[in-house]
Amino acid sequence: MFRPMFLSILLLVISTQADASKLVLKSRPEGAEIFIQASGKPVKIGVTPFEGDLTEIIKTYVQASSFMFELKKEGHLPYRVLLAKTSQVDLELSANLELDPRVENVRAHDALMNKLFSIQKLVRGRSFAEAIEELSALEKKHENLSIIPEMKATAYYMNKDIENALSYYRRAFAVNPDNQDAYRMKIYIEKKLGVDSEVP
Amino acid sequence: MFSTSELKKSDEVSILIGMANVSLTENALTLTGPNQKVAASAKISGINGLLHYRFKNFEKISLFGQFSFPLMASEGTYLAGGAGAEYYFGETSSKMTLNDSITSLVMTPTMRYFAYSALNLAYVSYNTLTAKKNDTVFEIELGGGISRKFSKFSLRAQAGFARGVGVVSTTTAMKGMLGGIFFLD
């Protein structure tokens, strides 16, 4: 009884031995181009999500002892992974592609603009305290932008808090001496209050 | 970029089922008492289960613990537990994973060949012509096997030979097992 069973096990295993190794490549976001590079130029093999035969890919493209997968998508940094040439392994790789810093920068600016527009709406709606609070929070994150102290000064001015308004117009002008609007309002309030012009 | 040293090797639990054939010979010198003058031999043959836990994995070698228990036995009982080491012949001996904020990588070997050796402590209960007896046996086991990954599951098949020395007997065991592998990620 023992011998036939052992032979059956052996046959079962050997009969499935010819199956290929599986390669699964995913990326977030999807749609990244997949390149394989072993020696010489990288070769594009597909787009994520990708499923293929790893044995066949290695046989076709890899002669060296190691190879590299590279995932490329516009607006994202290229992702690379170096692997040893191997067989009889199923490989599943999932990569979170990092945003290109330039694109990230544009997105951050876009978010800031949207925030400033929503604060402008608060000022127009005469919700000065709320607008000033939000501008103060933004000011901590963006110390080098003159538009934020300028908008804060405008909110104080419309709220008839002239002294604070002058203080923030002066700060806006100090941060950016090219800010003509801040400069004009600073001079106007200084004349109105009869104070000396403060040179930053 | 990362190196293979950052890859975590998975522990494995396997549940197998198969045959265990044990031949047992009593040692005449150890027999005592009025009814035990003749050394008997006996055979234990049955379907056994095997719980196998791979708990420490190196590049080519893995350490394991195992426990074999009877499921259906025609005569006698064979129960064994022990620990040992497996040597893998291929490039990849373990399922390997890497998880960080950017990369998730899983490498699962599809085919593995291994040889193993183990030290077991076994309990045998057997029938002679005149009595039902039992013994505790210290066993050395040698064997080999193969594991194969399919799309949804992984199988492990192994065969081994064990030689044991007990208090009143010596044993020879042949085992053949087949079962599933569960990777503990």
pLDDT confidence bin for B27, thresholds 50/70/90: confident
Q: What is the pLDDT of residue A108?
A: 85
A99 CA to chain B: closest CA distance, Å?
A: 12
**Is there a contact between A88 and B1 if contact means CB atoms under 8 Å apart?**
no
Q: Of B110, B14, B106, which is closest to residue A16 (Cα–Cα)? A: B110
Residue A14 Cα distances to B11, B111, B147, B151, B178, angstroms: 25, 10, 11, 16, 14
Mean pLDDT of chain B: 89
Greater confidence (B7 vs B5) lies with: B7
Chain A residues within an 8 Å CB radius of B148: 13, 16-17
**Is there a contact between B176 and A88 if contact means CB atoms under 8 Å apart?**
no
One domain, residues A112 and A161? yes
What burial class does residue B108 get, using C-beta atoms within 10 Å of its C-beta: 0-12 exposed, 13-18 middle, 19+ buried? buried
**Is there a contact between B91 and A89 if contact means CB atoms under 8 Å apart?**
yes
Q: Count structural domains, chain B.
A: 1
Chain B residues within an 8 Å CB radius of A86: 91-92, 107
Q: Of B119, B22, B31, B34, which is closest to residue B76 (Cα–Cα)? A: B22
One domain, residues A183 and A107? yes
Which residues of chain A have a pLDDT value below 70? 1-19, 198-200
Whether A13 is covered by a domain: the verdict is no
User: What pTM does this model have?
Assistant: 0.70
One domain, residues A79 and A146? no
Q: What is the pLDDT of residue B31?
A: 64
Q: What is the pLDDT of residue A103?
A: 81
Helical (H) or strand (E) element with A43: strand A43-47
Residue-wise pLDDT tens digits, A158-175: 999 999 999 999 999 998
Domain of residue A180: give its range.
102-193
What CATH number does the domain containing B147 carry? 2.40.160.20
Q: Count structural domains, chain A.
A: 2
pLDDT confidence bin for B85, thresholds 50/70/90: very high
Q: What is the pLDDT of residue B35?
A: 59
Residue-wise pLDDT tens digits, A96-129: 999 888 887 888 888 888 999 999 899 889 999 9
3-state secondary structure at position B143: strand
Residue A96 Cα distances to A28, A83, B85, angstroms: 5, 18, 38
Domain of residue B152: give its range.
4-184
One domain, residues A58 and A116? no
Q: Pick the last residue of a domain from A70, A98, A126.
A: A98
Q: What is the pLDDT of residue B90?
A: 83
**Is there a contact between A17 and B109 if contact means CB atoms under 8 Å apart?**
no
Q: Pick the last residue of a domain from A98, A130, A154.
A: A98
Strand A43-47 to strand A79-84: parallel, antiparallel, or no bridges (unpaired)?
Answer: unpaired
What CATH number does the domain containing A30 carry? 2.60.40
Nearest-CA residue of chain A relative to B176? Answer: A6
Portion of chain B with pLDDT greater than 90, in percent: 65
CB proximity A188 to B under 8 Å? no
**Is there a contact between B176 and A6 if contact means CB atoms under 8 Å apart?**
yes
**Both tokens assigned to B115:** 């040889």
Of chain A residues 13-52, which have a CB less than 8 A from chain B?
A: 13, 16-17, 19, 21-22
One domain, residues A82 and A46? yes
Q: pLDDT at residue B20 above 90?
A: yes
Q: Pick the last residue of a domain from A98, A127, A143.
A: A98
**Is there a contact between A87 and B91 if contact means CB atoms under 8 Å apart?**
yes
Instruction: Please tell me the number of Cα atoms within 13 Å of A52 on its side-chain side.
Output: 18
Chain CA centroid to CA A53, Å: 33
Q: What is the mean pLDDT of residues B59-64?
A: 94
Q: What is the pLDDT of residue B178?
A: 94
Task: For CA atoms B130, B133, B139, B145, give the dihedral sign.
Answer: positive
Whether A178 is covered by a domain: the verdict is yes
One domain, residues A144 and A181? yes
pLDDT confidence bin for B10, thresholds 50/70/90: very high
Greater confidence (B2 vs B11) lies with: B11
